[in-house]
Amino acid sequence: MEAVAQRAGVHKPAVYRRWPTKLDLVVAAVLSISPDTAVPMTGDPRRDLTSLLHDSARNAQRDPRVQVGLRLMAEGVVDAELAAAINTRVLGPRRDTARTIVERGMAAGLLRADLDVDLVIDLLFGPIHSRVFITHRSLTRAQVERLVQLVLEGIAARP
């Protein structure tokens, strides 16, 4: 906190007034560099999920800000409070968008009504995290489209 105050040219109490804890400061810093989560919502689960996941994969592969987020996520393994803050404030908006897409598909009768939405979201984002963050391989739009197709085949409403 001292270094932040010094770099900002203010006294430490000024930093603490704005960010009462180091965790608040870290989360604010991450949010200030987080990529935008705006994804068009067309009402077509396949198109909307493909757009959301492709955007997520592209950001993960190309955006240097994501590397900062990854380091913080790694710290979250040993700091439950940090993990909760990152999950809620940084990862949460993309999951919320995915939730909205899946729930709209369910309401429209395009997706099964008995879905565990959180599990579906994990199924969609899991391969991106594995491929990009663990194996350091890229994901093309065609691969994202295939991923969405595979998941939707399993969760599509049955006649």
pLDDT digit string, tens, across residues 121-148: 999 999 988 888 788 888 899 999 999 9
Both tokens of 22, joined, read 């180091």
Q: Does residue 39 register a pLDDT over 70? A: no
pLDDT tens for 5-35 read: 898 899 989 989 988 888 788 777 777 766 6
pLDDT tens for 72-105 read: 777 777 888 888 877 787 778 889 999 999 999 9
In the chain, what are the domain boundaries?
A: 34-155
Both tokens of 150, joined, read 């595979």
CATH architecture group of domain 34-155: Orthogonal Bundle (1.10)
pTM of the predicted model as reported, rounded to 2 decimal places: 0.77
- Per-residue HEC secondary structure of 18-85 comes to HCCCHHHHHHHHHHHHCCCCCCCCCCCHHHHHHHHHHHHHHHHHHCHHHHHHHHHHHHHCCCHHHHHH
Both tokens of 36, joined, read 């935008």
Both tokens of 124, joined, read 């969609």
Is residue 49 within 8 A of residue 101, CB to CB? The reply is yes
